[in-house]
Amino acid sequence: MAVGLILSSFGKTLGQLGDPRFRRVLFKGIGLTFALLIAVYTLFLMFLNWLGAAAWVQELLGNISWVGDLFTAASLFLMIFLSVFLMVPVASAITSLFLDEVADAVEDRHYPHLPDVPAVSFGEGLKDSVNFLGVLIAANLLALIVYAIFTPFALFIFWALNGFLLGREYFQLTAMRRVGRAEAKKLRRKHGGAIWLAGILMAMPLSIPLVNLLIPILGAATFTHLFHQLEPIRAHPPSG
């Protein structure tokens, strides 16, 4: 059942790609996702340099002047490779910026009977996203030990871990728009298995360079559908 709901949700998302409003959000999301990926990649290189790993980086990229050579072909290829890992925090960060816009486009097209909801304030959305992002980064740093011990299964552990974390975040922020924070947490626990599976199916294409640029926005739309299919909301009948 869960797989059917997830595939149905993703199918509806793909079916809306022809909607100009949805495409506009998608293209903005791709642009910002790429910009955030570059920013995270730059911070990652600076972190390596701070750790004293500059020699290792230079061996991979050649003699780096950090700013001037940041966008060389070698650096670009390294960024594409590292995006397998760096896109996870980027996907987490993108939710607070585009979730309302994506959800509005999806609900206007597929759930027009629902009443409008006030947009989550930027501060509230940012607070939740920063909290989720902190947990995600800490969990992935700790998981490095597990990856080293169970190297043959590292990719599957990566998918399972980040699927759980991303699914939790995307569903929580999506549900909060309609039912509030406390009820969203209850629903997240109630549908934990389906949400985890949907998160894994989101984490897997995040591991594919270039394709992963599409996933944060498509994921937000898919989780909007998933929420409404798991917990259908009926609009109050109009008075009079």
Contact between 115 and 236 under an 8 Å Cβ cutoff? The reply is: yes
* Residue at 139 is within a domain: yes
Is the predicted pLDDT of residue 144 greater than 90, yes or no?
no
> pLDDT confidence of 109, banded at 50, 70, 90?
very high
d(CA 111, CA 103): 10
Residues 6+ apart with CB under 8 A from 4: none
Residue 129's pLDDT is 75
Residue 68 has pLDDT above 60, yes or no: no
> What per-residue confidence (pLDDT) applies to 36?
84
Domain with 73, as residue range(s), is: 7-230
Q: For position 237, what pLDDT does the model report?
A: 37
Residue 235 in any domain: the answer is no
> Is residue 69 in a domain?
yes
Q: 188 vs 42, which has greater pLDDT?
A: 188
For the entire predicted model, the pTM comes to: 0.82
In a domain, 238, yes or no: no
Per-residue model confidence (pLDDT) at position 130: 80
- Residue, of 233 and 206, whose pLDDT is higher: 206
Is residue 67 very low, low, confident or very high in pLDDT (cuts 50, 70, 90)?
A: very low
* pLDDT digits 0-9 by tens, 179-220: 888 899 999 999 999 999 999 999 999 888 888 889 999 999
Is residue 237 situated within a structural domain?
Answer: no
Predicted confidence at residue 218, as pLDDT, reads 94
Say whether pLDDT at 82 is over 50: yes
| pLDDT at residue number 118 | 75
**Helices (DSSP H) in the chain: which residue ranges?**
2-15, 20-50, 54-61, 73-110, 122-149, 154-190, 192-206, 215-230
Per residue in 210-232, pLDDT (tens digit) is 888 899 999 999 999 999 999 88
172, part of any domain: yes
Count of structural domains, the chain: 1
Is 168 inside a domain boundary? yes
In a domain, 129, yes or no: yes
